[in-house]
Structure 1
Amino acid sequence: MSRKKVAISVGDLNGIGIQLILENHDIISKEVETVYCIDRSMLEQAAQKLNLPIPTDLNTIENIASDFEIDAGVVSKESGGYAYASFLKAVELARNKKVDAITTLPIHKKAWELAGVAYKGHTDALRDFFDAEAIMMLGSPKMYIALFTEHIPLKEVAGSINEKDLTRFLIDFYQTAKPDTQVAVLGLNPHAGDDGVLGNEEYIIQKAIDNAHREIGSKIFSAPLVPDVAFTPRVRANYTHYIAMYHDQGLAPLKALYFDEGINVSLNLPILRTSVDHGTAFDIAYKGVRLNALSYINAIKYIKERDEK
């Protein structure tokens, strides 16, 4: 099988993204063929500030955006604008079939805002670029969690759970995540509603599950699980993929268990996108701190291993 080609957007150059690239290129290049969406001049500036060598086989793309002076740990419109331009180039390469997937390194949302970018982050942008309902899935090889609702206030979650949208979500998830075993679906309420005593959203969730099973032709999803026991060792032994009804329901246990190695995957798009599941780490950027690269390496390995299924 030929090696996959991955475009990597460099994220906010005032943060740790470029250090991750330079410190781990040798490891990453053994997994996939890489092309980094950064001008050579900016790469050289960052490498000099980091006092790190540039690997001789590291491939870049020119004319991403105008050069600027890297200012370690500072939120700026220049760094935000460059991060967005790097991301756009990676998406363009994937859209035009020049690469097989993209991996995005961390951005700073405020820097994007200062640069006049209309999106809060990568996933919002991808939904608009492709007019598709991208699914946010986070996790590690041991446990992946997809979020039915994402960045909305907790008080709006219950009202967002409806049969039609959840049915579509479950089907799209199954078709794009391609889980090998049964998927755990979390209930919303304590005790999964206790047969309606503590809430009736679980009835809606079950109807959506039944609908999805009819279309899929397989009973791939569990009945709504009691959320406070769904992540105990005994239950986790049965599942690698979970569906959470809201952000912290899924991500709090995930990050407690697998914080350093988690990744972000955008499903249900015409392109495959993975990302690290951490931020720009401005507090340690360009300070000579050796970085934990598990998230970055896992984001690349997901692309390789998914294609090998």
Structure 2
Amino acid sequence: MKPIIAITMGDAAGVGPEIIVKALGHQAVYDQCRPLVVGDGQIMKRALAFAQSDLTIRSISEVGEAAFEKGTVDVLDLALLQEDLPVGAVSEEAGNAAFLFLKKAIELANEAKIDAICTAPLNKEALHLAGHNYPGHTEILAALTDTEEYAMMLTAPKLRVIHVTTHVGLVKAVELITPERVYNVIQLADQTLKKAGIRSPKIAVCGINPHAGENGLFGDGEEAAKIEPAVQKAQEEGIQVFGPMPADTLFYRAVRGDFDLVVAMYHDQGHAPIKVLGLEAGVNITVGLPIIRTSVDHGTAFDIAGTGKADEQSLMEAIRQGAELAPKR
């Protein structure tokens, strides 16, 4: 049986509904999985017009009611929003709904009614306005699944990156980088790649400072104190891990094929190379959770929401990877 992928609608004021409609217009999605939208039926019907789509929206209340037939989009309709919700604007209503869509998908996964979750983008400001003070999807998923050790992994053609820290300021990120955290992320990376079929993955670890500190010339010895002990411990356990290495050349080497994955120390260190390779092909995967979760690697794009210009390729790739990683029935 093809896996059931719950696609959460994300922030209804953004491009999420549009890219979902566009993605579910492709036969390839139905060849890979059984897609189920968790969101709002009225907003999804509005998105048909934005995307100039001839699909049909079918609101359902239980997973068992879904037909999973191309041409009809099955929406587990939580009916949380008004059809005239402003497009392209931060909204407490949309932020709250985005949180509840994800919460419902997690409940379905815990009940084994779905096999994986694929998330359309949410807006952090809207989320916070609604009183959900999380930095993003990753932290919500961790909190609602009682997961302590997790990490964000981004994939693009020829590059995989996993993050030690994510949505915090740079000064705070350096504080949060510890040997224990770096070691745990290396372990998660190794386990994830082996599950994906890479028998002996090669993992490279970025430094924090320019030139990875250059033997203490730059910084205050952060590489020696925070990263080297973790790398050494992982090596002693048989993991093929190298570093800390200068980030400015490491990503080039990884794209060339020298390494299967790069461990980035902070948000922009890892995100920037992925996005240079193409937003349309980037996918965000949360590793360490009891649930398979993938996502687009772009935001709500309020500036083009409602115009039909948003590209569905990142969502299609996220759905594909979710289907590949999902447990087989």
Task: Identify whether the pair has TM-score above 0.5, normalized to the shorter chain.
Answer: yes
Q: Secondary structure at the match of 1:297?
A: helix
Establish whether residue 284 from structure 1 lines up as the match of residue 304 from structure 2.
yes
Match of residue 231 from structure 2:
209
How many aligned residue pairs are there?
305
Structure 1 residues 170 and 66 mapped into 2: Cα distance closer, same or farther (>3 Å)?
A: same
Residue type of the partner of 1:300? I
Report the alpha carbon displacement of residue 97 of structure 1 after superposing the two structures with TM. 1.1
Q: Which runs of 5+ in 2 are unaligned?
A: 57-70
TM-score, normalised to structure 1, is: 0.89
Query: Deviation digits for residues 26-78 of structure 1, max 9, x if unmatched?
Result: 23222211111124333223324554322443212133535442322122122
Q: Secondary structure at the match of 2:118?
A: strand
Higher strand share: 2
Match of residue 98 from structure 2:
83
Structure 1 residues 129 and 234 mapped into 2: Cα distance closer, same or farther (>3 Å)?
A: closer
- How many Å separate the matches in 1 of 2:172 and 2:36? 41
TM-score, normalised to structure 2, is: 0.84
Q: Secondary structure at the match of 1:231?
A: helix
Q: Is the 8 A contact 1:109 1:120 kept in 2?
A: yes
Structure 1 residues 261 and 163 mapped into 2: Cα distance closer, same or farther (>3 Å)?
A: same
Correspondences of 1:1-309 after superposition (within 5 Å): 2-25=1-24, 26=26, 27-48=28-49, 50-55=51-56, 56-132=71-147, 133-178=149-194, 180=198, 181-199=201-219, 200-204=221-225, 205-214=227-236, 217-232=237-252, 236-289=256-309, 291-307=310-326
Q: Which runs of 5+ in 1 are unaligned?
A: none
Report the alpha carbon displacement of residue 3 of structure 1 after superposing the two structures with TM. 1.3
Structure 1 residues 135 and 269 mapped into 2: Cα distance closer, same or farther (>3 Å)?
A: same
Query: Deviation digits for residues 143-198 of structure 1, max 9, x if unmatched?
Result: 11111111222223433332222222222332234362201111222222222333
Structure 1 residues 158 and 67 mapped into 2: Cα distance closer, same or farther (>3 Å)?
A: closer
How much identity, in percent, do the aligned residues show?
34
- How many Å separate the matches in 2 of 1:7 and 1:122? 15
Q: Is the 8 A contact 1:161 1:201 kept in 2?
A: no
Q: Is the 8 A contact 2:165 2:265 kept in 1?
A: yes
Q: Is the 8 A contact 1:230 1:236 kept in 2?
A: no
Alignment RMSD: 2.3
Q: Secondary structure at the match of 2:269?
A: helix
